[in-house]
């Protein structure tokens, strides 16, 4: 009998999701003769058994379309909100997979999806994970579909901000996505010629940035463009967050852990919209007007570029190969232009941040970019 496979997209939307669905689906249907169903709205749809049969007609014309035809959500299977209560839905998910006669499940998503997929593997399901994220922070894969398109969008935004910064002799602070990893801000900052790049990996000192801007002004360049990752923090905020993380890890009781997590959440809340704080502080320190542009969801919307279409197709097709071989419990990683299966246990819970000696950082410093340190 033909293998019957389920597929879903989870987490934030990203360019290239439909390319990956199509890549896996066309290989599964056309090359291996499998049956395919798509679950609506990520793991919630799987828990609620909401799905649609996917055939060749359903996969036609979606390669160039942004978003995901299946919908998505950020629900966690082991603590899903149901009628106002938090419920472990993993047993229900296992039951639904058995009810639908599934031989395997494909979960397309980022780091959180990798963790959730690994939970389902531990529950006995046959699962593979396809890596997507614009943040490029998934461990053991060179890149993930979504990153290249977002990088191009953020770079174009910085290009456009240069003209208004130059015309009005202003500091323009451009906030770019990336809570814990600064790949997107770093790449776009370099490609767009930002004068200052601020990353989560390098705690900054506002005076160091201000001095760089003053030096530019002294040499006749009375404007500056700052590319800041949304998770970038100054030295003081970084120490506060590290202390909060240590409290969470060191909590000796459920009550203490809950209190520590609440404290950490309050620090995170105070840190939100940090780009505006940076703009205010630089305005006060330099005497130049400062303005903020938050790129937000525009970075991950719209048509995927050629690279993300190619990568989604490559990893999707490789995923179908692995399913046909019964090779589960893996992330289909991109390594050196090859699709390589990496155990989910190695990917789940790990984060690929920017190494401080990465060539991109070296290149930025060589062209005189201030990194805030």
Q: Which tokens hold the place of 133?
A: 């994220």
List, in order, residues 6 or more apart from 230 with CB less than 8 Å away.
175, 176, 177, 178, 179, 274, 275
Residues 264 and 276: their CA atoms lie apart, in Å, by: 21
Select which of 41, 75, 135, 308 is catalytic: 135
Bridge partner residues of 339 (DSSP): 334
Closest CA to 334 of 320, 315, 350, 354: 315
What are the C-alpha distances in Å from 104 to residues 181, 200, 203?
32, 37, 43
Closest CA to 54 of 73, 32, 26: 26
E strands, the chain, in order: 4-9, 35-39, 51-54, 80-82, 85-87, 104-109, 127-131, 171-176, 196-198, 224-229, 290-294, 330-335, 338-343
Known catalytic residue at 137? no
Residues acting as catalytic residues = 135
């Amino acid at each position: 009998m033909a293998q019957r496979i389920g597929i879903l997209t989870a987490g934030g939307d990203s360019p290239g999701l439909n390319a990956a669905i199509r890549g896996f689906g066309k290989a599964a249907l056309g090359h291996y003769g499998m049956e395919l169903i798509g679950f609506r709205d990520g793991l919630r749809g799987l828990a609620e058994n909401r799905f649609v049969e996917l055939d060749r007609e359903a996969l036609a014309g979606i390669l160039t379309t942004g978003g995901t035809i299946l919908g998505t959500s950020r629900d966690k299977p082991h603590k899903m909100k149901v009628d106002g209560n938090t419920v472990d839905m993993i047993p229900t998910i296992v039951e639904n997979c058995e009810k639908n006669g599934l031989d395997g499940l494909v979960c397309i998503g980022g780091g959180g999806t990798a963790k959730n997929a690994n939970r389902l593997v531990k529950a006995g399901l046959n699962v593979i994970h396809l890596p997507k994220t614009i943040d490029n922070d998934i461990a053991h894969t060179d890149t993930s579909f979504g990153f290249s398109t977002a990088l191009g969008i953020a770079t174009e935004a910085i290009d456009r901000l240069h003209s208004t910064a130059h015309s009005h002799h202003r500091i323009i602070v451009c906030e770019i996505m990336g809570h814990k990893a600064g790949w997107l801000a770093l790449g776009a900052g370099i490609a767009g010629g930002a004068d200052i790049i601020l990353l989560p990996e390098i705690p900054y000192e506002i005076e160091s940035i201000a001095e760089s801007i003053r030096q530019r002004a002294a040499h006749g360049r009375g404007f500056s463009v700052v590319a800041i990752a949304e998770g970038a923090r100054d030295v003081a905020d970084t120490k506060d967050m590290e202390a909060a993380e240590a409290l969470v890890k060191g909590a000796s009781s459920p009550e203490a852990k809950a209190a520590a997590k609440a404290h950490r959440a309050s620090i995170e809340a105070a840190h939100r919209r940090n780009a505006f704080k940076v703009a205010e502080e630089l305005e006060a320190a330099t005497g130049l007007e400062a303005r903020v542009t938050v790129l937000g969801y525009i970075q991950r919307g719209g048509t995927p570029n050629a690279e993300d279409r190619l990568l989604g197709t490559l990893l999707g097709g490789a995923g179908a190969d692995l399913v046909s071989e019964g090779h589960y419990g893996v992330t289909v990683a991109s390594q050196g232009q090859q699709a390589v299966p990496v155990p989910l246990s190695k990917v789940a819970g790990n984060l690929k941040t920017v190494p401080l000696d990465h060539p991109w950082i070296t290149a930025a410093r060589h062209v005189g970019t201030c990194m805030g340190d």
